[in-house]
Structure 1
């Protein structure tokens, strides 16, 4: 059997949007190859937004649900990536601080809201709020500071159908959340290392350039002393010093040539 659904069914799902919930639901836990596929896809990227966007699109296709992602920007949660049918664009929309999504994000623990009462007392961020949804916060452990970095939260629901997220779907969503966190953590670390390397390289270039300038000044003074000097012993010492200065200038010139011209930065 090629898959749970025929080509026509898959076409119908695409036409109806990811709001459409097929029946029966796929056996998500049995499809580890699917998890490996998305893992391989997002781990090859070095762009955080591309990773999250691809993961959200994947979730919408795989679960046949609406999926979106809120990213922590400063002290605000902002919706930045979404897939499925929504009444209005979500990009840039602030998540209400009185919403259950904010509460779950602060707690840092995934929660599957399968009963309407679980959303009582909270505000909805979207105009037509859906109480039944799954929310999975994600982040990563900074390997340098060993501090937990909270990045955002994945949110999945069935749209107007109002169907709860199954236990299998919720487990699948948590796996994708862990994947996003680990991949984004790797990207953040790579960016830190790159920035550190660039900074160190710039410091080395500037230091070498300034050092060479000082050597040129000292060399000039040595030549001036030799022209004016009448003391043989002093002249010999100054000549030796000048030779050492010239040798240092040559070393610095080779170093600058290897590092690149600091004046080009």
Structure 2
């Protein structure tokens, strides 16, 4: 475990450049996993503490990413339903556990049974419904050292948690846009294909009338229809090129 240096013990005001660094990353990065890992690395280096992130997957809350030294085996395991982490995510209220008795009555997911830690819920506001979506939690501790997170660092972690939540929301919104675009593209292509089949049928029918009609006026009208069909086919071909 990395020992916190004196210059790591900063207030929220002094950490503004660090928060701006994370905010810039959130603004341009579209890779959710890379961004989360970068934030955890930031916390690990700046605070000298372990950091891990749990995310919701359907009805489960799973360990997604972690940084720091752990004595137990780490894997993407589900979080115990009786864990205090679940309570924090469901209630949406950050907690800073500075005394061991605060964890009494709760189960532990990690074999180390870390009791001194800070837990910050991750959430974002849905851009369509404005509904608050709780998607996971940020967990920070000093491991077996048992050193609590200071009030200043806890405020810092809450801001980092908001930035991570915003990044997750942006990533999910981007995925929704991509899925919506793909669905609409498929729908337009299917419609264009059906339209082309109808045009081809009308074109073939009008050409046959023009060839077989004994009435000169009828034959000319059929030729005009066939010409219009050819124009429609040309426009449709141009339209499909833009898809």
TM-score in terms of structure 1 length = 0.85
Output the CA distance in 2 between the equivalents of 1:88 and 1:120: 21
The answer as to 2:106 corresponding to 1:117 is no
**Greater RCO, 1 or 2 (C-alpha within 8 Å, sep 6+):** 2
Which consecutive unaligned segments of at least 5 residues does structure 2 have? none
Residue 151 of structure 1 is matched in structure 2 by 135
Deviations 1:206-228 (A, max 9, x none): 22232122211211111111222
Say if 1:77 and 1:94, in contact at 8 Å, map to a contact too. yes
Secondary structure at 1:72 match in 2: strand
Residue 238 of structure 1 is matched in structure 2 by 222
Alignment of 1:1-265 (within 5 A): 17-18=1-2, 20-22=3-5, 26-29=9-12, 30-259=14-243
Deviation, structure 1 residue 56? 1.0
Deviations 1:127-175 (A, max 9, x none): 1212111100112111123222221100011111112111001000000
Q: Which moved more, 1:167-176 or 1:81-90?
A: 81-90
Q: Which moved more, 1:38-47 or 1:155-164?
A: 38-47
Deviation, structure 1 residue 246? 1.4
Q: Pairwise CA RMSD of aligned residues?
A: 1.7
Q: Which moved more, 1:228-237 or 1:129-138?
A: 228-237
Output the CA distance in 2 between the equivalents of 1:129 and 1:248: 71
Q: Aligned pair count? A: 242
Deviations 1:183-213 (A, max 9, x none): 2212221222122222222322222232122
Instruction: Give every structure 1 segment of 4 or more consecutive aligned residues whose post-TM-superposition deviation is greater than 6 Å.
Output: none
Which consecutive unaligned segments of at least 5 residues does structure 1 have? 1-16, 260-265
